[in-house]
Chain A
């Protein structure tokens, strides 16, 4: 069973460009979470999605950032008009369910490291 896949692993963008980060959850998982890890900081929750629905985007900046998880295909985290402060590692995780009970560990992908020049 393949793990969570993210691509690209490394992404370089110039200020003002768009960044698209992709995440394919584990087989059978319908819940996807995105986290961001700024340099020298801990991971912070950004957004939680189920198929075709955004459940919680409270951790995502209000402007320039958007996320989707279409019926077919990977989840996409999109950052428009990137700025240097967007440079970070972006991790995607998936789970079969969303609750915090003992059955629902989150499985993380290897991350996408975004560098904005």
Chain B
């Protein structure tokens, strides 16, 4: 399975942007880049995903490098509610890739 590498932790101030990097140098051409997050004492929740182009939704933006070997999740204005562990996960676009492989993720702390 293609692996991802993320920093263990990041800190941010409230109302400031947060840029979460993810390295995936062994990504294959059909792998999607997915991000999930897990708030304290809750189950993971989907954040965003992309293949080649940058993506935006109401929660975040995903910037994907041109060579696809890295990506960055951007939280535009962090709030206290964004404090969570963020997971970068690769998923192949095939019918039998159903397992989500969670690594250690990045623990985001937001200071008031």
Contacts and interface: CB of A to CB of B under 8 A. Distances in A.
A25 interface: no
B98 A42 contact: no
Contacts of A99: 93-98
Given A91-B44, A93-B43, A110-B43, A45 B49 contact: no
Interface residues of B, number: 26
B95 A108 contact: no
A95 B98 CA distance: 10
Interface residues of A, number: 28
Interface string A84-117: 0000000101010011111011111111000000
A43 interface: yes
B74 interface: no
A110 B42 contact: yes
Interface of A: 4, 31, 33, 35, 42-45, 48, 55-56, 59, 91, 93, 95, 98-102, 104-111
